[in-house]
């Protein structure tokens, strides 16, 4: 059978104490723990109870409801006997209190589309919640409940990145709705890329701690009782835990929470201004590298932060702020945990030498201006919504900014565009022999009219030409 990526509507996490803007609450004596295998029977009887007791009060249950209109059977509609019916859909998951004033982090898919979101605390009190930020690329959402002047127990976010493969961890949540449950395991891998495309959020902590349906949004806790990750999904053939679970690391959790509590409506990620690819075994051999590790720079955006720092095509980025870069996804993740304005050090291998490049993180440029428009009239694009492609738009939508200037389709509603097979993500290159660089070019081309239209679009790296009559 084929393994599936399963998102788990979940419940999880727990407590500690500390504001998300502060560092981990772990005591200095535990900052560099001694790692040793159990040496005797007495050691084997050691209990996780102190860790659970510390964390459990910050675990919440999250239920989300939405009203869905269910269409009647078309057969009965023919006899006037069918009518659309409304039904309520719900999802159940977990969340973690990360600020004492009622700020909670969970998975976006737990609350997505929810019209009524309820948070149940560990003491069974329930509060209505509102979403203050949802970030699709990390699958994280930040909620807020009103608890007045009360100070809730919180779980400290450990974003030090000191977790190592083999460290003991706990996953706490509400699998299958049976109530709060704790499972233990170890960290199986760090900087794990579940998405080979190199998306910024795809550098996960992998664990074999059992994570089942109902654990989404829950916490992955270390032996200091700190939050090192938010459980997000599993790989499984059965839909239940096979010991391959993934959690969004604490550094990214903190970045999203800080953006939310700071009033941001979206997470602004710094942009290196380079197109990179993971170093494969073949690439490593051709470049004389000892191991296939790092991110090869395939292209550099003129005037961007990377170019100004001296980054060149053919460089291999091997570290960010001293942390090893495993692949392109790891590079993007390391960048995305920073804020615009932060100083970043890149370790770059160029030829036989390795050097350090210093740059200042900055958001992707929004030039040309977005100029979002819905196309109308008698033309092949009627019903489509289009924007100018810029690095900022590319970052928002997860497309390649190096596709060049062009007009990007971001939505297709009812109209000729839908019937013609136009899709979101298509890049309009040419209409009736006229090159399309910006939205205004497309607007002028369709305004010129015509019964026959010759159109060139780019989809998935391939040029598609078609002819239409309207």
Long-range contacts of 112-116 (CB under 8 A, 24+ apart): 112/64, 112/141, 113/64, 113/66, 114/64, 114/65, 114/66, 115/65, 115/66, 115/67, 116/64, 116/65, 116/66
Helical pair 250-261 and 328-336, crossing angle rounded to 10 deg: 40
- 109 catalytic residue (yes or no): yes
Q: How far apart are CA 53 and CA 198, in angstroms?
A: 38
Which positions ≥6 away from 458 have C-beta within 8 Å? 403, 406, 426, 427, 429, 464
Pick the catalytic residue: 109, 135, 224, 241? 109
- 195 catalytic residue (yes or no): no
- Half-sphere exposure of residue 221: CA atoms within 13 angstroms, side-chain side: 35
Pick the catalytic residue: 18, 203, 216, 336? 216
Q: How far apart are CA 352 and CA 464, in angstroms?
A: 42
Q: Which of 304, 300, 328 is nearest to 312 (CA)?
A: 300
Q: How far apart are CA 217 and CA 142, in angstroms?
A: 10
Pick the catalytic residue: 135, 139, 224, 226? 139
Q: Which of 157, 133, 403 is nearest to 268 (CA)?
A: 133
Place of tokens 């909620």: 143
Look at the alpha carbons of 162, 166, 167, 169 in this order and tell me if their dihedral is positive or negative: positive
Provide the terminal-to-terminal Cα distance of the chain, rounded to the nearest Å. Answer: 47
- 40 catalytic residue (yes or no): no
Q: Distances from the Cα of 300 to the Cαs of 160, 243, 315, in angstroms?
A: 30, 40, 10
Residues recognised as catalytic: 109, 139, 216
């Amino acid at each position: 059978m084929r393994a599936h990526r399963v998102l788990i509507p979940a419940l999880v996490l727990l407590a500690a104490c500390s504001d998300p803007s502060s560092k981990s609450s772990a005591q200095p004596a535990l900052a560099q723990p001694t790692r040793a295998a159990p040496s005797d029977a007495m050691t084997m009887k050691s209990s996780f109870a102190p860790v659970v007791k510390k964390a459990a009060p910050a675990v919440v249950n999250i239920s989300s409801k939405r009203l869905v209109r269910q269409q009647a059977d078309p057969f009965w509609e023919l006899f006037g006997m069918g009518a659309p019916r409304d039904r309520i859909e719900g999802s159940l998951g977990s969340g973690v209190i990360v600020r004492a004033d009622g700020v909670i982090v969970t998975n976006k898919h737990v609350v997505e589309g929810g019209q009524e979101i309820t948070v149940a605390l560990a003491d069974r009190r329930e509060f209505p919640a509102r979403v203050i930020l949802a970030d699709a690329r990390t699958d994280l959402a930040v909620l807020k409940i009103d608890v007045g002047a009360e100070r809730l127990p919180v779980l400290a976010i450990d974003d030090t990145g000191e977790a190592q493969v083999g460290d003991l961890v706990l996953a706490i949540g509400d699998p299958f709705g049976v109530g709060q449950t704790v499972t233990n395991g170890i960290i199986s891998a760090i900087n794990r890329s579940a998405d080979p495309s190199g998306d910024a959020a795809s550098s996960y902590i992998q664990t074999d701690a059992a994570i089942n349906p109902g654990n989404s949004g829950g916490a992955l806790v270390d032996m200091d009782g700190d939050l090192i990750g938010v459980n997000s999904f599993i790989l499984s053939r059965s839909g239940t835990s096979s010991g391959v679970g993934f959690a969004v690391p604490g550094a990214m959790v903190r970045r999203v929470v800080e953006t939310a509590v700071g009033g941001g409506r979206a997470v602004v990620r710094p942009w290196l201004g380079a197109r990179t690819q993971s170093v494969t075994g073949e690439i490593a051999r051709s470049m004389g590298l000892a191991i296939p590790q790092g991110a090869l720079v395939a292209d550099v955006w003129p005037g961007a932060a990377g170019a100004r720092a001296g980054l060149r095509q053919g460089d291999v980025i091997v570290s960010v702020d001293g942390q090893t870069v495993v692949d392109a996804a790891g590079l993007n993740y390391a960048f995305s945990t920073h804020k615009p304005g932060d100083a970043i050090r890149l370790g770059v291998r160029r030829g036989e030498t390795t050097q350090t490049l210093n740059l200042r993180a900055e958001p992707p440029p929004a030039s040309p201006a977005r100029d979002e428009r819905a196309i109308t009239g008698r033309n092949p694009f009627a019903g489509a919504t289009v924007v100018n492609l810029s690095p900022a738009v590319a970052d928002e939508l997860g497309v390649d900014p190096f596709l060049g200037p062009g007009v990007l389709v971001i939505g297709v509603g009812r109209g000729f565009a839908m019937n013609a097979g136009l899709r979101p993500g298509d890049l309009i290159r040419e209409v009736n022999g006229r090159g399309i660089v910006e939205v205004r070019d497309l607007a002028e081309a369709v305004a010129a009219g015509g019964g026959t239209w010759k159109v060139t679009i780019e989809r998935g790296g391939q040029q598609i030409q078609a002819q239409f009559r309207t």
